[in-house]
Amino acid sequence: MKNNYFPLETYYDENFADGVIDISCSGIEPYSFYELQSLIGSELVSDIYSPIEYAESFGVHALRSQLAEKYNVCESCVLITNGASESITIALMATSNNGGNVIVGMPFYNPLKMLLKTIGLRPQYINTYENYVFTYSNIMNAINKNTCAILLNNPNNPIGAIIDKKILSLLINKLNETGAKIIVDEVGLWLTYRNKNYNSIIALDGNMIAIGSLSKAFGVPGIRIGWLITTDMDIMSKAIEIKRTLSCSTSIFAQSIASKILYDSENILMHHNNIISKNIVALKKYLSTSEFIRCSLPSAGATCFPTFKHDINAKKLAHKMLSSHNYLMVPGEILGIDNGFRLGLGFRNTDLIKFFNAIEYEIKTFAS
């Protein structure tokens, strides 16, 4: 029986294998330990004599202080977690007040549906994008006395769009009247190659909640480092207690690696933004001549969502791309979006032109 709560994870479980090119990868193409060590210019593990012990529940000082500086908050406003998924779980539990409604701006992370059900929250799924532009009127209309949180993804995965600061400010002002929180998944925050002025929601209101991680922007999803940022100390106190209950602490080994990555983050992110910009140039070149595909260029993050100009069965096309060309392509219906597919733009070693040639060939075959 198919698992309706985890369509994306199930799709990868059923289709991913060694040698397959994940053309829908949603972050910077993951590094090997050797590549990462070469990138940061030092050994990943330098102090081999320190005990491999539990870290403090809220995270080690070095990593928290680095993140505090980047978000312009004090260290006590930073909680280190096991990836962004744990941060989202903790944030929802800390704001739920034993139940309530959570407004979820769609599209969003698929497993969230199971999470909300497990926590006992009542989700309101609101489509927040029209023609790749964030619209907030539906969210504003849905806010009521039972709303405990609004959950947004900014920049959006897979669309690559960002939410205008003025709109976020309007939502913040509305929620300040009710006491509810905005929780923003900002895992693509630093991949801002086309919008240098994009900032965390914390820069607008520290009492809201920012979720971040190293996974997407730094190409290291396997070390499972995420964080939760808020200046609301009541929420932070609850978050730390929930963290202690859920997982006790986050790997001291992983936090040490994360700290080394952040030490040289500006150079690394410049490199990664250049990679995405280069792939966008390839995308633009392809779109200028394509008979079958169109796409709104992303503003941030490492994904975009090309759509079809004609009636194409995306699932059948994805199956053909995998069986004939070894490209794993996530069709939109897996993500709850029609008529397209998620395209990754964080590839360091994959030639997107080859992929575009292959998909154009297969669509022509479908059409003939």
Single-letter residue type at 216: K
The CA distance from 4 to 214, in Å, is: 28
Convert the pLDDT of each residue in 191-227 to its tens digit.
Answer: 986 655 568 999 999 999 999 999 999 999 999 999 9
Residue 171 clears pLDDT 60, i.e. is over it:
yes
Q: Helix (H) and strand (E) counts for the chain?
A: 14, 16
Distances (CA, A) of 159 to 108, 152, 231, 234: 10, 13, 29, 34
* Residue positions counted in the chain: 368
The CA distance from 172 to 182, in Å, is: 7
Work out whether the CA dihedral 105, 91, 215, 61 comes out positive or negative. positive
Residue 3: Cβ-neighbour burial (10 angstroms; 0-12, 13-18, 19+): exposed
The CA distance from 203 to 307, in Å, is: 34
Residue 19 clears pLDDT 90, i.e. is over it:
no
Would you kindly state where each structural domain of the chain is located, as residue ranges?
7-33+266-367, 44-263
In this prediction, residues 126-152 reach a mean pLDDT of: 88
> Which tokens sit at 106?
């769609």
The CA distance from 294 to 192, in Å, is: 22
Intra-chain end-to-end CA distance of the chain, in Å: 35
Convert the pLDDT of each residue in 234-286 to its tens digit.
Answer: 999 999 999 999 999 999 999 999 999 999 999 999 999 999 999 999 999 99
Residue 75: Cβ-neighbour burial (10 angstroms; 0-12, 13-18, 19+): middle
Distances (CA, A) of 245 to 20, 89, 155, 343: 38, 12, 30, 37
Helix, strand, coil distribution of the chain in percent, nearest 5: 45, 15, 40
Work out whether the CA dihedral 264, 266, 271, 273 comes out positive or negative. positive
Is the peptide bond between 221 and the residue preceding it cis, with omega within 30 degrees of 0?
no
Residue scoring higher pLDDT (132 or 329): 329
Is the CATH code 1.10.1740.10 the one for domain 7-33+266-367? no
- Phi/psi at 183 (nearest 5 deg)? -105, 120
Convert the pLDDT of each residue in 278-299 to its tens digit.
Answer: 999 999 999 999 999 999 999 9
At 49, the pLDDT band (50, 70, 90 cuts) reads confident
Residue 102 CA, chain-centre distance (Å), reads 19
In a 13 Å sphere around the CA of 266, the CA atoms on its Cβ side amount to: 2
In this prediction, residues 85-93 reach a mean pLDDT of: 96
Distances (CA, A) of 56 to 120, 179, 314: 29, 30, 46
278 Cβ neighbours under 8 A, 6+ residues apart: none
Nearest CA to 255 out of 91, 92, 57, 94 is that of 57
> How high does pLDDT run on average in the chain?
91
Fold that domain 44-263 belongs to in CATH: Aspartate Aminotransferase; domain 2 (3.40.640)
The confidence score (pLDDT) of residue 1 equals 40
The CA distance from 234 to 232, in Å, is: 6
The CA distance from 186 to 196, in Å, is: 15
- Phi/psi at 144 (nearest 5 deg)? -145, -170
